[in-house]
Amino acid sequence: MAIFSSSTQQVPETAAVPRHVAIIMDGNGRWAKKRLLPRVAGHVKGVELVREAVRACLERGIGFLTLFAFSSENWRRPQEEVTLLMQLFVRALEQEVEKLGRNGVRLRVIGELSRFGSQLQELIRRAEEQTAGNSRLVLTIAANYGGRWDIMQAINRLAQSAPEKLGAWSEADLEPFLAMNFAPEPDLFIRTGGEERISNFLLWQLAYTEFYFTPTLWPDFDTGEFDKAIASYQKRERRFGRTSEQLTEIIPDA
Ligand code: IPE
Ligand code: IPE
Ligand code: MG
């Protein structure tokens, strides 16, 4: 059973502060290049901005923050950069988890983790376990994640669990098997770095999410920039298929 309602099955409740923000943190390499630094310097700086984004969510009462850290296609990068990204991930887990725990943050990692080294897999497992009792903010890191991978792994697991219903599966049957089954669908999607594409991020879950694209590179995406995205979100009219008139209709007293 899904804990949260699906935007295509029923109109979800919305609030001024988004409940779930999902971010493609893009532009680290270009940030470094502009400063004549190696690309990895951009990734190092990027980790600092992750801390800032987490703090901003805690202060603003946002319950879910989901960050795209490494896509299923990022293995195509030069081996050296992939290795450095993995090292940064390991270091961040070693250094940050305790502090996350103290701040009431629950850490989750989604993606095909079996492709990572055993040390990293073990660190992920421990970090999730250590923070499992927290609920103030759920911080989800998408690592070796791809939206198509997610949908396929869910279909394959559903096929194993309910073969008798083959040919008659519903959205509601699939949803419990998706990687983000523990969270409401994102209200706000942010992509930094100027590209306006999804790059195989949360394909299923973004069905009715509001999109915000900014040319600001991720290492420059500070709290002020974060608040601009929230302000933009607050101006949107989320209709979920209905007309604008339906949203402003005054329901007469019975
Ligand atoms: C995003 O920054 C971080 C990862 C994909 C890990 P990029 O490394 O894609 O930076 P640009 O897009 O080359 O500037
Ligand atoms: C998307 O950024 C993935 C992450 C930020 C982790 P990319 O930089 O890999 O995306 P493309 O290749 O420009 O679409
Ligand atoms: Mg990029």
Task: Encode pLDDT of 76-120 as tens digits.
Answer: 999 999 999 999 999 999 999 999 999 999 999 999 999 999 999
> Which numbered atom of ligand 2 lies nearest the CA of 77?
9
The overall average pLDDT reported for the chain is: 96
Decide whether any atom of ligand 2 lies within 6 Å of the 71 Cβ.
Answer: yes
Q: Note the pLDDT of residue 252.
A: 65
Considering every ligand atom, which ligand is closest to the CA of 191?
2
Residues 22-40 have pLDDT tens digits of 999 999 999 999 999 999 9
Q: Ligand 2: distance of its center to the CA of 199 in Å?
A: 6
Ligand 1 interacting residues, C-beta cut-off 6 A: 25-30, 70, 74, 85, 193
Q: Ligand 3: distance of its center to the CA of 24 in Å?
A: 9
Which ranges in 118-167 belong to alpha helices (H)?
Answer: 118-130, 147-161
> Which numbered atom of ligand 1 lies nearest the CA of 33?
14
pLDDT level of residue 1 (50, 70, 90 thresholds): very low
* Distance from C-alpha of 229 to C-alpha of 202, rounded to nearest angstrom: 19
- pLDDT of 2 above 60: no
Q: Note the pLDDT of residue 253.
A: 61
Q: Note the pLDDT of residue 248.
A: 86
